[in-house]
């Protein structure tokens, strides 16, 4: 089992649009093989700073989703709303 930590900084004026698109992305990720769980956290000191924690069965399951056409399409919508490029870190037990 692995955990994927995705860190994003969202442009303040686009938060509402981002939240809708990010929710749709999570719904699609939940359908990908090996997906176990996911949660989205907001920084209490900076509401434009988001952390997504996703749990996948294997690194290969994450890589399959990460490189999928579906995720790439969703990221085309999300990326313009971000102030910086997302940072992805993978952890294992």
Average confidence (pLDDT) over 13-20: 92
Tell me: pLDDT of 3 over 90.
yes
Domain CATH code at residue 44:
3.30.70.100
User: What residue has token string 């990010």?
Assistant: 22
19: containing domain: 2-92
Q: pLDDT for 22-70, tens place per residue?
A: 989 989 999 999 999 999 999 999 999 999 999 999 999 999 999 999 9
pLDDT at 46: 95
Give the pLDDT band (50/70/90) at residue 93: confident
Taken in order 20, 21, 24, 30, the sign of the CA dihedral is negative
Give the chain's domain count. 1
């Amino acid at each position: 089992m692995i955990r994927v930590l995705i860190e994003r900084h969202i442009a303040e004026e686009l938060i509402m649009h981002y939240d809708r698109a990010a929710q749709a992305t999570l719904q699609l990720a939940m359908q990908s093989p090996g997906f176990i769980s996911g949660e989205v956290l907001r920084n209490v000191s900076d509401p434009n700073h988001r952390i997504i924690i996703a749990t996948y069965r294997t690194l290969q399951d994450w890589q399959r989703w990460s490189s999928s056409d579906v995720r790439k399409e969703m990221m085309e919508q999300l990326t313009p709303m971000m102030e910086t490029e997302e940072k992805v870190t993978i952890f294992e037990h």
